[in-house]
């Protein structure tokens, strides 16, 4: 029998499998794509399991889903500390210092990330309804994610951040929008995001542009350029500005249907 290709992450799965071993996407459900090219992120079934390294992830619940991980020896994940739901008593955790210092604080980003190590069990969730977006990253990939959207990343993925000028007035009143940047080198990794509402993804061709409401932006390939564009809207005698994020391909762009404007803590 032929192997089954996952339509989300492109992994080849064993014949008869009903969910992808790498991302958990259902294999027996048709890929849902709108006429304009937006495809729905796969909605993971309750109790779906998938793997990274030698560890297993199980997704529990649907409205506010939980990612429970059985970490094996040698595997680890990092995360913002407030997304930790529970852990085994003996699962080690430690601080993961990040570069940027005061810039991260003023940008509303966490000053320190937390790392959990195997062996042990640990679970994560955000306190809002939405979807878990599972993004297996192959070696040599770079992905940019809006602040406070990533749930966890495996320790094989490098972490930094980048600043996009001009979008923060729409988001949290500062002077620049900060994005988490995740980079893989010679080893693959697993990145999990939380999207408010429903999540959709679209691939842009080289030079292709779309305009996205900044609060609805979720993630993009680093190859996709992003800049703020102010569009004047005339209302009677007044002219008001509409700020949009202009995305230019090539690469993929992810959006969330229930956008939230975060404020610096």
Residue 231's nearest CA partner among 212, 209, 218 is 212
3-state secondary structure of 241: strand
239 within 8 A of 183, measured Cβ to Cβ: no
pLDDT in tens, 70-122: 999 999 999 998 899 999 999 999 998 776 555 555 555 566 799 999 999 99
Confidence of residue 164 (pLDDT cuts 50, 70, 90): confident
Question: Structural domain boundaries of the chain?
Answer: 4-256
Residue 245's nearest CA partner among 237, 236, 254 is 254
Q: Determine how many CB atoms are found less than 10 A away from the CB of residue 264.
A: 14
3-state secondary structure of 89: coil
Residue 154 clears pLDDT 50, i.e. is over it: yes
Confidence of residue 237 (pLDDT cuts 50, 70, 90): low
Tell the CATH topology of 4-256.
Double-stranded beta-helix (3.60.160)
Global pTM value: 0.87
pLDDT in tens, 1-59: 688 999 999 999 999 999 999 999 999 888 889 999 999 999 999 999 999 999 999 99
pLDDT in tens, 170-215: 444 444 568 899 999 989 999 999 999 999 999 999 999 999 988 8
DSSP string, 144-208: EEETT-EEEEETTEEEEEEEETT-HHHHTSSS-EEEEEEEE-SS-EEEEEEEES-EEEEEEPTT-
Sequence-ordered alpha helix ranges (H) in the chain:
102-106, 168-171
Confidence of residue 156 (pLDDT cuts 50, 70, 90): very high
Q: What's the confidence (pLDDT) of residue 97?
A: 73
Residue 136 clears pLDDT 90, i.e. is over it: yes
Looking at the DSSP bridge assignments, the partners of residue 234 are 239
């Amino acid at each position: 029998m032929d192997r089954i290709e996952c339509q989300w992450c492109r992994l080849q799965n064993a014949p008869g499998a009903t969910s992808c071993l790498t991302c958990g996407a259902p294999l027996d459900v048709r890929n849902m794509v709108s006429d304009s090219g937006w495809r729905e992120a796969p909605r993971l079934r309750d109790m779906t399991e998938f793997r990274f390294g030698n560890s297993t992830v199980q997704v529990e619940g649907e409205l506010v889903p939980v990612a429970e991980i059985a970490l094996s020896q040698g595997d680890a994940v990092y995360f913002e500390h407030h997304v930790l739901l529970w852990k085994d008593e003996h699962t080690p955790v430690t601080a993961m210092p990040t570069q940027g210092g005061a810039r991260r604080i003023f940008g509303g980003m966490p000053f320190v990330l937390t790392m959990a190590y195997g062996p042990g069990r640990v679970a994560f969730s955000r306190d809002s309804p939405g979807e878990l977006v599972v993004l297996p990253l192959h070696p040599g990939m770079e992905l940019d994610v809006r602040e406070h959207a990533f749930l966890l990343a495996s320790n094989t993925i490098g972490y930094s951040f980048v600043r996009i000028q001009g979008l923060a007035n729409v988001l949290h009143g500062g002077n620049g929008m900060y994005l988490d940047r995740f980079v893989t080198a010679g080893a693959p990794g697993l990145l999990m995001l939380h999207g408010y509402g429903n999540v959709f993804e679209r691939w842009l061709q080289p030079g292709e542009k779309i305009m996205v409401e900044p609060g609805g932006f979720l993630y993009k390939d680093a190859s996709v350029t992003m800049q703020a564009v102010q569009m004047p809207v005339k209302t009677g005698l007044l002219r008001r500005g509409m700020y949009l994020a202009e995305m230019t391909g090539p690469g993929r762009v992810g959006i969330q249907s229930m956008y939230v404007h975060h404020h610096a803590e």
